[in-house]
Structure formats: structure tokens, C-alpha cells
Amino acid sequence: MIAAVGLVIGILAGVLLHPEVPLFLQPYLPIAVVAALDTVFGGLRAVLDGIFDDKVFVVSFLSNAVVAALIVFLGDQLGVGSQLSTGVVVVLGVRIFSNAAAIRRHLLSA
């Protein structure tokens, strides 16, 4: 519940504050967002599995976002940034799908 409230608060803050994304963050923010989204789905699944751990959630949330951005940054330095960010997005997308499938199995038994 607090998580949902936090999500809403974050969205509202984003809408109201009109923040500018710093230039150096611009290529990495979308990847980090996708990674965080993946982490949230994973956490939801862990809740349903009964194995949710707040420390793990926080650490994996931050590290996932940072690592995803780091990979893209590395790819940019190596000249394969666009391909590598595509790869990261594909991997994260697959994980989001599998997590969502597990959540669905828990909640709907289907």
C-alpha cells in the first residue's frame, strides 16, 4: 500500500515539477527505469512467494538500475551503445514477463 502510494507520489512529483534530465543522464535514464520496473515486479513476486526481504529489494533495485545504466555507458564508450541498450532492454523485458507470469500464476492460479 505504501509502495503504491509512493508510486503515485512519484508520478505526481514528476508531473508537477517538470524536471529537466541532465544531459549526461539522458541515455541512461530509460534503461535504469526499465531495470527498476523489473525489480518492482520481482519484489511483487517475492511477496507472493513469501520470501520478500526489504534489504534485498533495496539493494537489487539500486544495483539493477546502476548496472543497467553502466552497461549502456560502457557500450557507448565501446561504440556499441545502441546495440547493447537494446540487449539490456530485451533481457529486462524477458525478466519482467517471467515475473509477471509467476505473479499471475500466484494470484489467478492460471
The C-alpha atoms of residue 75 and residue 106 are separated, in whole angstroms, by: 37
Told to check if 78 binds other proteins by CB under 8 A, we report no
Total number of residues that touch other proteins (CB under 8 A): 58
Q: Tell me the closest approach of the beta carbon of residue 63 to other proteins, in angstroms.
A: 9
Quick one: which of 106, 110, 108, 101 has its CA closest to 51?
106
Q: Tell me the closest approach of the beta carbon of residue 52 to other proteins, in angstroms.
A: 7
Told to check if 87 binds other proteins by CB under 8 A, we report no
According to the 3-state scheme, what is the secondary structure of 69-96?
HHHHHHHHHHCCHHHHHHHHHHHHHHHH
Quick one: which of 63, 88, 99, 4 has its CA closest to 107?
99
- The residue behind cell 512529483 is 13
Told to check if 90 binds other proteins by CB under 8 A, we report no
Told to check if 89 binds other proteins by CB under 8 A, we report no
Q: Which residues bind other proteins (CB under 8 A)?
A: 1-11, 13-15, 18-19, 21, 23, 26-27, 29-30, 32-33, 36-40, 42-43, 45-54, 56-58, 60-61, 64, 76, 81-82, 94-95, 98-99, 102, 106-107, 109
